[in-house]
Structure 1
Amino acid sequence: MAKWLETLEAMPHVLTAVLVSDDGLEIESVGGTQINSPSLAAETASLVRSSATASRNLGGGKLFRWSFTTDNFEIISIRVGNAHSLTVAVQRGADARNLQVEMARLALKLVPQLEP
């Protein structure tokens, strides 16, 4: 199995990271002790579909990134090409700037490997 997400696993405050196809297939995951990675993958696919629809219906155009915060963690997700997403659960209140930069770097690296 590829080790694309190793750099995310090594970052502070990362709980779980998943690379997922739009149909919910988990391609790779790291972490997962506090947040179940198959569940995060399935929820990512569902949220991408609904967020993309909402964006289009509101005139926002194509969805590139979304995030939300709960009592316990923050979820950050970015699109990887046209059919995949990279989603990370991070401890609530953590500074996620470096994490988001690394997510963008990984997304650019992964597009040619995931899409024809």
Structure 2
Amino acid sequence: MNPHLAEVQRLLVPESPNLSSPSVEFIPQLYYAIHQLKKDPNSSTASLETATSSIRHRLKQCKAHLAQNNECRELLSSTPAEWDVKLAQRQKDLDAKRELCRQLALQVERL
């Protein structure tokens, strides 16, 4: 995995202290906060603010990390179809390099 994208994943889904499962993800966290708000609108406002502030903070960290890394932005800006083309091109390049290495090895053996 790309180390820059791994950092984004770490920021978005940090490990929980017990290391057996990731911490609460955004969507369930928001649903629970909204459920609490529906249940008791007067006392749950702080809960919703706390849940969303944690999410906002993690998203800001990711945005800052992405802003500093051109490679990461390029990776995330490509569509799956574009990636298929890039991967096919890279495979062709690797095949050409392998063939060149094979030819060079044969030439070395002849010498």
Larger radius of gyration: 2
Instruction: Identify, as 1 or 2, the structure richer in helix.
Output: 2
**TM-score, length-normalised on structure 1?**
0.28
Could you say which structure has the greater relative contact order, defined with CA pairs below 8 angstroms and 6 or more residues apart? 1
Instruction: Identify, as 1 or 2, the structure richer in strand.
Output: 1
**TM-score, length-normalised on structure 2?**
0.29
